[in-house]
Structure 1
Amino acid sequence: MIRFENIEYFWFLLFGVIFLGVYMAYNSWKRSASKNFSSHKQLEGINPNTSDTKNILKFVLLLLALVFLVIGLADPKIGSKLEKVKREGIDLMLVLDVSNSMMAEDIKPNRLERSKMAISNLIDRLQGDRIGIIVFAGHAYKQLPLTTDYSAAKLFLSAVDSKIVPTQGTAIGEAIDMSVESFDEKEHNKAIIIITDGENHEDDAVVAASKALEQGIKVFTIGMGLPDGAPIPLYNDYGGQTGFKKDKDGKTVVTKLNEDMLRQIAAAGNGAYSRANNGSSGLSKIFDEINSIQKKEIETKQFTDYEHRFQIYIFVAIIILLLEFLINKRRSKWARKFDLFGKLENNK
């Protein structure tokens, strides 16, 4: 397993993108300017020893050196010792609604982003629990299997948006069923936390919660939205808002929090319901309920010793820079001797 100690250094890779853009723009301008003043044959006569191929090769080597240097600065570490670790906790499946209605902005910045912030805060407060992530809209999808790697959980969470599912809708029941199937058969206490606006259009979520409880799995719900509701914004491919979703009659669709549905799901799953608003994510109440569940010993395997590997990448970067320095921009004498096409032109 590889992890990076200083991931903020990866921002320096943006300089590589900038350098590439400037280099391509400069070469384009250079070719355009050359055509205005002389032909390609005349340019070769003015400076016959210049090698465009070597110039490109030198630039590519510089970019590679930058990549390896940045990776080295980020300080990659490789896990060298895998050990069994015992800890007390529960198995917790986080179920997140990513349907278009979660883009409504009655809760700032919008329902989905606020939900992700709430989950991130929950992860920060967990100790020893295994967590997994399932996202759903028209269908449910497993985003992350059960793990104690909270850093990985946050990484997967950051990639969640409303575009990662191909079918729109709100299949809460299917998401509950998938959560139940995602738990293993170990004798750990288990719970499901559903974060949604409660607009269920696909199945019977209350029945699914009852079936989960029959297997000893509690179901908690967090209502993300306000009772008055809000319109659903529409965006283009560049992230700019183009308007609001409308129905077949041309009226703006207003999505409202369905608290009754979420209360019924929580009751059927012997859990609790909490509502988020602009002042609170509704997390504290649910977290207290989760903590009241008896925790059992969980045995997992994880890397306990990590070895630094930045030296390898720094060394490779130095070798590439030396190679770039040794490459001459001018054509070699050997290449000029075998310039057959040039000789043919001269003979003509």
Structure 2
Amino acid sequence: MLERISSGVSAQRQAVKVGLVVLAFASALLALAEVKYGYTWEEVERRGVDIVVALDVSDSMLVEDAESGGKLTRLERARREITDLLRLMDGDRVGLVAFAGTAFVECPLTLDYAAAEIFLSDLDTDLIPVKGTAIGEAILTSLEAFEGSAQDSQAIILITDGEDHSGKALEAAEKAKEAGVRVFAIGIGRNEGSPIPAENGGYRRDRKKEMVLSKLDEPTMQKIALTTGGRYVRSVTGDVDLEKVYLQGVKATMEDQDLASSRRQHWKDRFQWLLAFSLLLLCVEPF
């Protein structure tokens, strides 16, 4: 093309024609980059439910019986399933409560799932110095985390081996029922029990030197779920239990509420104008 425009024209006209061609190609390249300029504000409504995940971080969650052949602790299995849940959520607010002999809010209700994953990664058995498994305290702390959120759209997902040492689990379940909060329980571990690893190696033993076994207390978990209108699911190796509870339990039985609204910048595409300008220059160039 440059050879064609350079023959039979003056040097000045030739420079103009070359400039038009170069400018046309530059405009085309910018158009391919999908240039955006200027924006409008868009109002975005978020609808969903409020979910607090209460995770047991007591020493019994270190038992390696969460998969066939061992080597995967109950806590590791639970963290994996919560991570999968966070990546599945869209529009629901989520919070995290950690509990052992007592409980506290690790992550307040949020729509920032990436931030929730960061808080989740910090959960470990050395996080709470008070030993034991206070399921009742976990439920009550989760109820406090719902303060200010819409009623009838609140659920607790309780993940534990079910060994309640406080004796207040069912009493707390009644309070959850009164508040209209459903508890969906996930039982981690085996009914026959497994030894608890000791800090100095080997396994934990009682005063009689007998090995201490951590057993899954399914009856307690089932009663909690039944009392609050939730559901109990046993965590089985290879099964996506938490996803099932979320989709078939929480989302299928609870109504989404307006949780929050925000303004989002919507950038305007301008590449069409650059493409049109490029074509115009190529049309003008032969003259």
Counterpart selection for 1:277 from 230, 233, 236: 236
Counterpart selection for 2:91 from 124, 128, 140: 128
Indicate if the aligned counterparts of 1:115 and 1:281 stay in contact, CA closer than 8 A. no
Q: What is the root-mean-square deviation in Å for CA atoms of aligned residues? A: 1.9
- Where does residue 35 of structure 2 map in the other structure? none
Does 1:290 pair with 2:254? Answer: no
- Where does residue 172 of structure 1 map in the other structure? 135
- Where does residue 184 of structure 2 map in the other structure? 220
Instruction: Report how far residue 152 of structure 1 moved.
Output: 0.3
How do residues 185-196 of structure 1 correspond to structure 2 at under 5 angstroms?
A: 185-188=148-151, 189-196=153-160
- For residues 161 and 146 of structure 2, what CA distance do their matches in structure 1 show? 25
Q: 1:114 to 1:151 in 2, by over 3 A?
A: same
- Where does residue 36 of structure 2 map in the other structure? none
Counterpart selection for 1:112 from 55, 66, 75: 75
With a CA cutoff of 8 Å and minimum separation of 6, indicate the structure with the bigger relative contact order.
2
Counterpart selection for 1:142 from 105, 117, 121: 105
Secondary structure class of the residue paired with 1:235: coil
Instruction: Report how far residue 245 of structure 1 moved.
Output: 0.5
Instruction: Report how far residue 84 of structure 1 moved.
Output: 6.9
- For residues 160 and 263 of structure 2, what CA distance do their matches in structure 1 show? 33
| Equivalent position amino acid for 1:291 in 2 | K
Q: 1:84 to 1:146 in 2, by over 3 A?
A: farther
Using the size of structure 2 for normalisation, the TM-score is 0.72
Does 1:93 pair with 2:52? Answer: yes
- Where does residue 199 of structure 2 map in the other structure? 235
- For residues 165 and 242 of structure 2, what CA distance do their matches in structure 1 show? 25
- For residues 270 and 286 of structure 1, what CA distance do their matches in structure 2 show? 13
Indicate if the aligned counterparts of 2:65 and 2:73 stay in contact, CA closer than 8 A. yes
Instruction: Report how far residue 173 of structure 1 moved.
Output: 0.6
| Equivalent position amino acid for 1:87 in 2 | R
- For residues 119 and 281 of structure 1, what CA distance do their matches in structure 2 show? 10
Q: 1:103 to 1:90 in 2, by over 3 A?
A: same
Indicate if the aligned counterparts of 2:50 and 2:149 stay in contact, CA closer than 8 A. no
- For residues 243 and 84 of structure 2, what CA distance do their matches in structure 1 show? 10
Secondary structure class of the residue paired with 2:244: helix
Indicate if the aligned counterparts of 1:84 and 1:299 stay in contact, CA closer than 8 A. no
- Where does residue 37 of structure 2 map in the other structure? none
